[in-house]
Amino acid sequence: MRHKKSVPNRSFRVADQIQRDLAELIRDLKDPRIGMVTINQVEVSPDYAHAKVYFSVLVGSAEESAAALNEAAGFLRNGLFKRLSIHTVPTLHFTFDQTTERAADISALIARANATRAKED
């Protein structure tokens, strides 16, 4: 029973380490298409074969950043091989994370609604 509990924790630890290491490795990339990227979350498949990397872009194009990151995925994976002490380093798949954008849009809508209500009062 005890063994089953440690397996999910390990995948979370691996995902967390990949997230931290990728943030550093991406900073070293010289591709001008990659904007100011933040790695929001990493989801590792149960067999560690694939990792879905969710990112947001503070400055730059989400589409161009995604294309450049996915092109650099092999290079980044090699960088992870050197840093991680795990048997299998997953294939990386970069996906633009729209949650922060949606949150900003919702905040703006709420602010607008509150401003309108304040004028009406």
Quick one: pLDDT at residue 8?
A: 59
Q: Radius of gyration over alpha carbons of the chain, in Å? A: 18
Quick one: pLDDT at residue 3?
A: 45
- Percent of the chain whose predicted confidence (pLDDT) is above 70: 92
d(CA 43, CA 14): 9
Q: Is the pLDDT of residue 2 over 90?
A: no
Q: How confident is the model at residue 112 (pLDDT cuts 50, 70, 90)?
A: confident
| Rounded average pLDDT over 73-93 | 93
| Rounded average pLDDT over 88-97 | 95
Q: Is the pLDDT of residue 47 over 70?
A: yes
Handedness of CA 81, 51, 69, 55 (dihedral sign): negative
d(CA 119, CA 121): 5
| Rounded average pLDDT over 53-58 | 93
Q: How confident is the model at residue 5 (pLDDT cuts 50, 70, 90)?
A: very low
d(CA 73, CA 102): 26
Domains of the chain and any CATH numbers? 2-120 (3.30.300.20)
